[in-house]
Amino acid sequence: MDSKINQSIKSKNIIKIENIEIIRGNNRLFTKYSYKFLHGNLYIIIGSNGIGKTTLLKCICGLIEPDKGKVFWNEMSVEKDYQEYYKNITYLGHLNSSFPNLSVADNINFLSILNGNKAISVQNDNFGILPYKNHSFSSLSNGQKRRVALSSYNLSTKPLWVMDEPLNSVDKTYENIFLELINDHIKKNGIAIISSHDVHQYKKFKNCNIINLDKLYE
């Protein structure tokens, strides 16, 4: 593992969202919402459909800018230096990032490189996709596609992991493998922020924090 990257995981990284407001059409998803995400912690974002879980994740990642307020990474404003901030993030959206016409092996390599890591071999994969390595991504089932996407976390040494419903369509065996990756990441002082409709898989984690967005509107 690269010593510089390893050092970044072990440092005391903090994400802070400060007084953010996000407006979508006639909907105001957040009003002066603030929260601090600390190193060595897992955060599970829950709430009703349409409440803003995906929007909040994208805001944290810098993929969308809040209409008001700011996002800070170690006191650095994300909007002022997004390129530097992005070097610290491994992001998995609700839809599987992919190149449908390429093989599974090529997709895994691309995903790894896009996340700032070296190309990885399917031979070392632990998500059971070796039998499909030469298949086109578009030919896979939804569960298989999700496992390909999750495999990008195998060698991710970035301190911030952000995931939108990562365990959708994933069976119990591979769910447990992924939870082990999360646990290892947290032990290394990483930060993991996950949206989910089901929190029971994550409650066993010692430093698990539940963020219920429904409570913002009570």
pLDDT tens-digit readout, 124-177: 568 888 888 889 888 988 888 888 888 777 767 889 999 999 988 888 888 899
How confident is the model over 10-37, as a mean pLDDT? 88
Higher pLDDT, 159 or 112: 159
| Residue 11 pLDDT greater than 90, yes or no | no
Spatial distance between the Cα atoms of 101 and 120, rounded to a whole number of angstroms: 19
- Its pTM stands at 0.86
For 3-217, CATH number? 3.40.50.300
Domain ranges of the chain: 3-217
